[in-house]
Amino acid sequence: MGQSLTRKLIESHLVAGKPVIGEEVSLAVDQVLLTDTNGTLPWLQFEAMGFTRVIPPRVVTYIDHNVYQVDSRNSDDHRYLQTASRKYGAVFSKPGNGICHQVHMETYSIPGQTLLGTDSHTPLCGAAGMLAIGAGGLDVAVALGGGPYSFTMPAVVRVWLTGQLRPWVTAKDVILELLRRLSVRGGSGKIFEYGGPGLASLLAAQRMTIANMGAELTLTTSVFPSDDVTRSFLTRLNRGGDWRPATPDEDAEYDDQIELDLGSMGPLIALPGSPDRVVPIEEVAGTPVDQVMVGSCTNGSWHDMSSVTGVLILETMAREGLLADLLATGALVSESTCGSCAGIGHVPAAGTRSLRAFNRNFPGRSGVKGDEVYLCSSLVAAASALTGTITDPRTLGTPPDVQLPPRFAASEAGFVAPDSGGEVLRGPNIKPVPLGEPVAPALDASVLLKLGDKVSTDDISPAGAAVLVFRSNVPAIAEHCFKYVDAEFVARAKAAGRGIIVGGEIYGQGSSREAAAVGPMHLGIRAVIVKSFARIHRANLINWGIVPLTFDDPAAYDTIERDDRLHLPDLRAALKAGTRVTIANQRTGATFTTSCLLTPRERDILLAGGVLAYTKGGS
């Protein structure tokens, strides 16, 4: 039986486990990327675990999300990240050098290798035939020290592309179409591997958009083969020597298949609130918008920017110098960072609509409660910027002809190479990492929050400049937990001392931020009971000693109210034995059961109170 590319990547890196759906596999990690927001904790954890040198051959720390230095706190974090990277063997990418995913793809991607990143959009490098996975900080800290990355073997789904994109239709529309069909839950427990005759027409930049935003489908990752398109991409960057083929066998078998005719699609747009509220552009054309933004790790490529410039200044496209042209249209060009995508800067005015060629529009993420953020392609964004209303770009006539330059300028000026010297500088914003508590024999606690479906990590621990500045200060960031969802939650949790959260489907979707686990842990949350979890968040809960339980019968969810007192008499013993966890609701007198399916590795970590407590010898 022939193998998929995904299976080849997994088997060639397998350290432990069997690649059978649902079983745990542990893979060797070739490359690691860390960011400024999610990188301080893993480096602190790496130190706390006693490591002194990174083991994976390529480790890069990027300062890309949180670069505003309005006071010294971000600068403190950056200085710590720079000095720790230098000392322990990681490359450091300076603020302004670009967003981690794109810079990593351009500079370090190597087909056939594995990449683990602290950011949920790490799968972007799957566009170059890598197995690139986003993970929580503790999993990344373990990988920095040479440990494998363990996860549950997903189903491998082939996405079979036929046809070619029509004028004005883009790779963003491909991933929006998949979100429209499958919803933000549709990729849970799956890897999408792209193939088919339509593939050859997709440039590397377009594959990057699709692989990147697969995160919004909750996929474990997305994989594209490494082919002539990949070779031409690397060659333009003077990295032709790093190219190697990575393809599935001709008779490869897959667990499932999805078909997509690229030629049948039109421009799409996601309505405010969730990336899967996707409709054809015609349905909302004419809606006034107050802000239009292009960029981010999803649509920040040269190809995107060139298309945008082409739309804004069709008649002067002949001129050289895209940036000058863009500025001449009145566009505001920000520094190349995540910025507004994570609510840092360019926050829309209250009650206004923002149209963004980005990837996430969870409520409040733009930095203001009640925001209305639409997601679309760069072309739809540019067309709408010309009119002030959502505009179907097909009404503009002939699309710009985007020609890639034969060579992209490559510079190493934005990177600092590691050496083994120097002092690690810890400014006052760097606080010690907390330790989780071992799971108690029994838990008796109140439901401090009852939430619905699709709770994102932006709901649990919001983005935005005011909050992100505390990513290396757990007590401070915990104060912001659920602040847009229930402003009283923190006070209630503090008063209760111990608590439980109840939620619906796909709890914890979105970012890989550990803050969404360690913040609630700090506030006394000891268990989360939901209908289903998003992969990275569930791992983060286990890594911090919070018990992730799922309802055996989802109907039990309806019987619970906020402030109900729940009693879990045999919690620890049930987790240890791998049996169901019975819960009694004091208010109703009813009992219901929940499950916590753990691998032996996860069970040991959870019972000890998380990875740090486990490595320090807890039980």
Q: 547-551 and 525-530: which strand pairing?
A: parallel
- Which of 9, 29, 99, 202 is close enough to bind ligand SF4 by CB under 6 A? 99
Residue 31 or residue 226: which is nearer to ligand MIC going by CB? Answer: 31
Token pair for 124? 């972007």
User: 615 touches which of ligand MIC, ligand SF4, none (CB within 5 to 8 A by kind)?
Assistant: none
Residues contacting ligand SF4: total by CB under 6 A:
11
Residue 513 contact, options ligand SF4, ligand MIC, none, Cβ 5-8 Å cut-off depending on partner type: ligand MIC
Residue 217 half-sphere exposure toward CB, CA atoms < 13 A? 26
Is 106 a residue that touches ligand MIC (CB under 6 A)?
Answer: no
Which 481-510 residues touch ligand MIC, going by CB under 6 A?
A: 510
Q: Pick one of ligand MIC, ligand SF4, none as the site partner of residue 505 (Cβ within 5 to 8 A by kind).
A: none
Helix axes 171-182, 204-213, angle to 10 degrees: 30
Q: Which among ligand SF4, ligand MIC, none contacts residue 37 (Cβ within 5 to 8 A by kind)?
A: ligand MIC
Closest separation between CB of residue 510 and ligand SF4, Å?
9
Q: Please report, for residues 181, 198, 213, 279, 393, the alpha-carbon distance to residue 178 in angstroms, rounded to integers and kept in the order given.
A: 5, 16, 10, 12, 21
Amino acid in position 210: I
Measure the N-to-C terminal CA separation of the chain; round to a whole number of Å.
44
Shortest separation between residue 441's beta carbon and ligand SF4, angstroms = 40
Considering only residues 260 to 299 of the shown chain, the ones binding ligand SF4 according to CB under 6 A are 296-297
What's the one-letter identity of residue 152?
A: T
Closest CA to 43 of 128, 131, 118, 132: 118
Q: At what angle do helices 228-236 and 204-213 cross, to 10 degrees?
A: 110
Nearer to ligand SF4, 89 or 134 (CB): 134
394 lines the binding site for ligand SF4 (CB under 6 A): no
Rule CB under 6 A: say whether 276 interacts with ligand MIC. no
Minimum CB distance to ligand MIC smaller for 399 or for 464: 464
Amino acid at 80: Y
Task: Report if residue 34 touches ligand MIC, rule: CB under 6 A.
Answer: no
118 to 137: interface string for ligand SF4, x by CB under 6 A? -x-x----------------
CA–CA separation, 572 vs 585, rounded Å? Answer: 18
Q: Which of residues 443-482 bind ligand MIC (CB under 6 A)?
A: 463
Q: Structure tokens of 603?
A: 């069970």
Q: Does 93 bind ligand MIC (CB under 6 A)?
A: no
Q: Which does 99 bind (CB under 5 to 8 A by kind): ligand MIC, ligand SF4, none?
A: ligand SF4
Instruction: With CA atoms as reference, report the closest residue to 435 among 138, 57, 76.
Output: 138
Q: What, of ligand SF4, ligand MIC, none, does residue 45 touch, CB below 5 to 8 Å by kind?
A: none
Closest CA to 276 of 196, 191, 362, 206: 362
Comparing CB distances to ligand MIC, the nearer of 511 and 615 is 511
SS (H, E, C) 282-343: HHCCCCECCEEEECCCCCCCHHHHHHHHHHHCHHHCCCCCHHHHHHHCCCCCCCCCCHHHHC
Residue by residue, DSSP assigns 503-553 as: --TTBTBS---THHHHHHHHTTEEEEEES-B-HHHHHHHHHTT-EEEEESS
**Cβ closest to ligand SF4, residue 341 vs residue 380:** 341
Is 37 near ligand MIC (CB under 6 A)?
yes
Closest contact distance (angstroms) between CB of 339 and ligand SF4 is 8
Task: Give the footprint of ligand SF4 on residues 436-475 (CB under 6 A).
Answer: none
Residues of this chain that bind ligand SF4 (CB under 6 A): 65, 99, 119, 121, 296-297, 338, 341-342, 359-360
Residues that bind ligand MIC (CB under 6 A): 37-38, 65, 119-121, 342, 360, 463, 510-513
